Each structure stands twice: as structure tokens, then as C-alpha cells.
Amino acid sequence: MLSLLLEREDAFLSGEEISRRLNCSRTAIWKHIKELRKEGYQIEARPKSGYRLVYRPDRVAPEELKPHLRTRSFGRRMQYQECVPSTQLLAHEWAKEGAEEGSLVITEEQTDGKGRMNRIWHSPPHSGIWMSLVLRPPIPVTEAPQLTLMASVAVTRTLRRETGLDVTIKWPNDLLVGGKKICGILTELRGEQDRVQYVVLGIGINVNVTPDFLPKELESIATSLAIEGGRTFQRPLLIAAILKELEEVYEGYLDHGFEPIRILWEEAAGMLGRIITAQTPEGPRRGEAVGLASSGALLLKTEEGTLPVYSSDIQI
Ligand code: BTN
């Protein structure tokens, strides 16, 4: 029903046509109209003319997303709910049950969103992109961190193109605008005998989050595309563009390995040449960020030589 109304844009669609195309009764049409209204769609019903969509709420439901999808497999199978604890958890469950590569879990709101290192990921309703993608790359577990970098490159390229904002990458998984975080990427995997069985790639983007929805403690370190761009963005369009770019970069990674991604990452990173402090399990290490190793580790030039940094918090 929604697809038909969207197809007609702001013209009227007669009850008779709906009835014929959906093969349903007038009573069923009315029931669906009431359901759509409950979800926030404003539909004008006029005797003799039929139905017309006058307002669509900002939703990332499959009906809103699918018309924009240009991918082969990413997002073609989708689970959507208005509110979930965390899309990561649902994607893990789905992957364990055999979800195919490219299966997507997406929501409007998370009540228990997860960040790296067990941090909370703040996910207010209808204002961000909170999604998890199931991948099944035929790679060893040791190479899985490369996927976070691969995803950072794909999302950065898309956001730059679609928003015109100067998005940069902070190793390993933060995307920043003006030094503040707008996106975080969380890669979790299940391995079997050193091979990756599946990966859940979680992407969180503050799209239309307004300052009053950012907790006080995040004000100085987080921002959103809308705050930085001075306008709101249509989430379904952004999601479709991200999935398309991600699928292309991922296929390139599977065909040609990490080297092309490494080069793209170095181009997109906003931290090369900067002096940083990395909190490593062996204590803080200070030096100049000089590049990315083929393993995906950050290369830090220190007084003791150039060190690879594998897992740490970085202060620029
Ligand atoms: C980080 O920067 O620490 C990573 C944040 C990842 C957040 C996303 S939102 C969608 C998916 N579901 C979650 O619970 N987390 C990821």
C-alpha cells in the first residue's frame, strides 16, 4: 500500500485501483490506511478521488529504503524494528541461524547500543543510522581488523560525497568532522579454526541528531551531520549510498586484498603526520602517526623506532 502511494507521489490513488492492484477488499484498504496513520504517515482520504500521501515520517523501514537500493546483496534481506536493544545482538542471532552475506538489521532507536570497549552507544529515535551488516569473508581471523578499516573508507567516501562535509578517519574506527565524532564502526566476529565464520559490522552515524539529544558529557567530543552541515539529511538515501559503496569496496577487498584499501585509508585519514598518544596494553606511547601497516595496524614513529599499534585508544 505504501509503495503504491509513494509511486503516485502527491496525486490521488483511487480505492478501486488499490483494490485491484493489491487484490484486497475496501475494508482491508481502510485497515492498512489506519495502520500507516498510526506509524505517522498522513494520508488524505477524499470521496470519489481516493487516497493521497501528504506527509511521510522520517523512517528507515524497508518500504522507504528498498526503492533507493542499488546493491547486489547488501541490504537485500533486511530485519527492521522501530526500537531494539542493539542491532548487533539481533545480527549475531540471525548470523548464527545462517543469515546470508549482506543481511542487514536496522532500527530507528537502540536502547542498549554498544560501542567499542563495552562503551554505550547513544542512539536516539529517528535521528541516526543504527545498523548491523552480516558478512562472511573467506579470510583468516587475524585479518578481520582490516574490515573495520575497509568500512571506515567506504563510509567516509560516501559521507564526503553525499554531504560535502570534510569527514576524516581517526584510527581505527571513528569518523570525525571538525575533530568531533559523527560515526563509529564496531566489527565483531565469530571464528572457527582460525577462519572467520561471520562478521557483524555495526555502523552508527549521528545524522539528524540535534544538540539537545546529545548527552552533556558528549557535547565536546561528538556531533552530527545536521549540526555540522546546517541542514537535515534523508537517512534512506544515505543508507542506500553507504551500502552501495560498502559493497563495492568490500568486493574490491575480496578480489585484490588489503593494499588498495590501505592506500585509500591513508588518503582519507585526518591524522597522518600528527603527534598522537596511543594507550596500549604496555602503557601510553607517543609519536607521529605515519601510516597503516599491511596488517591494518597504525604505524607510530617514536624515539625507539616505528611501532605498529594494534588496539588502543588514541588522543590526537
Ligand atoms: C564505537 O565507536 O565505539 C562503535 C560504535 C558502533 C555503534 C553501532 S550502532 C549500530 C550497531 N549496534 C550497536 O549496538 N552498535 C553498533
Q: How far apart are CA 79 and CA 86, in angstroms?
A: 12
CATH architecture label of 62-268: 2-Layer Sandwich (3.30)
Which residues have C-beta within 8 Å of that of residue 38, sequence separation ≥ 6?
none
Closest of 98, 134, 94 to residue 243, by C-alpha: 134
Hey, what's the torsion of the CAs at 159, 148, 192, 140, to 10 degrees? Answer: 110
Hey, what's the torsion of the CAs at 249, 251, 255, 260, to 10 degrees? Answer: 0
Residue range 215-228: average pLDDT?
92
Among 60, 88, 117, 174, name the best residue to mutate to test ligand 1's pocket (greatest count of ligand atoms within 8 A of Cβ).
88
Cβ–ligand 1 distance for 87 under 6 Å, the answer: yes
- Calculate ∠ Cα 171-173-175, nearest 5°: 90
Rounded to the nearest angstrom, the distance between the alpha carbon of 303 and the centre of ligand 1 is 35
Report pLDDT for 224: 97
Q: How far apart are CA 255 and CA 233, in angstroms?
A: 33
Residue 268 has pLDDT above 90, yes or no: no
Hey, what's the torsion of the CAs at 6, 104, 181, 250, to 10 degrees? Answer: -110
Cβ–ligand 1 distance for 114 under 6 Å, the answer: yes
Q: Is the CB of residue 159 less than 8 Å from the CB of residue 206?
A: no
Domain ranges of the chain: 2-55, 62-268, 275-315
Rounded to the nearest angstrom, the distance between the alpha carbon of 203 and the centre of ligand 1 is 6
Q: Is the CB of residue 49 less than 8 Å from the CB of residue 88?
A: no
CATH architecture label of 2-55: Orthogonal Bundle (1.10)
81 annotated binding-site participant: no
Interval 9-54: pLDDT, tens: 789 999 999 999 999 999 999 999 999 998 888 999 999 999 999 9
Residue 87 Cα: closest atom of ligand 1: 12
- Among 35-49, 99-113, 239-253, the minimum mean pLDDT is found in 35-49
Query: Is the domain defined by 275-315 classed in CATH 3.90.470.20?
Result: no
Bridge pairing between strands 195-206 and 180-192: antiparallel
Highest-scoring range by mean pLDDT, 34-38, 42-46, 109-113, 300-304: 109-113
Cβ–ligand 1 distance for 131 under 6 Å, the answer: yes
Encoded amino acid at 37, one letter? R
Q: Is the CB of residue 189 less than 8 Å from the CB of residue 200?
A: yes
Cβ–ligand 1 distance for 116 under 6 Å, the answer: yes
Cβ–ligand 1 distance for 121 under 6 Å, the answer: yes
Q: Is the CB of residue 26 less than 8 Å from the CB of residue 19?
A: yes
Residue 267 has pLDDT above 80, yes or no: yes
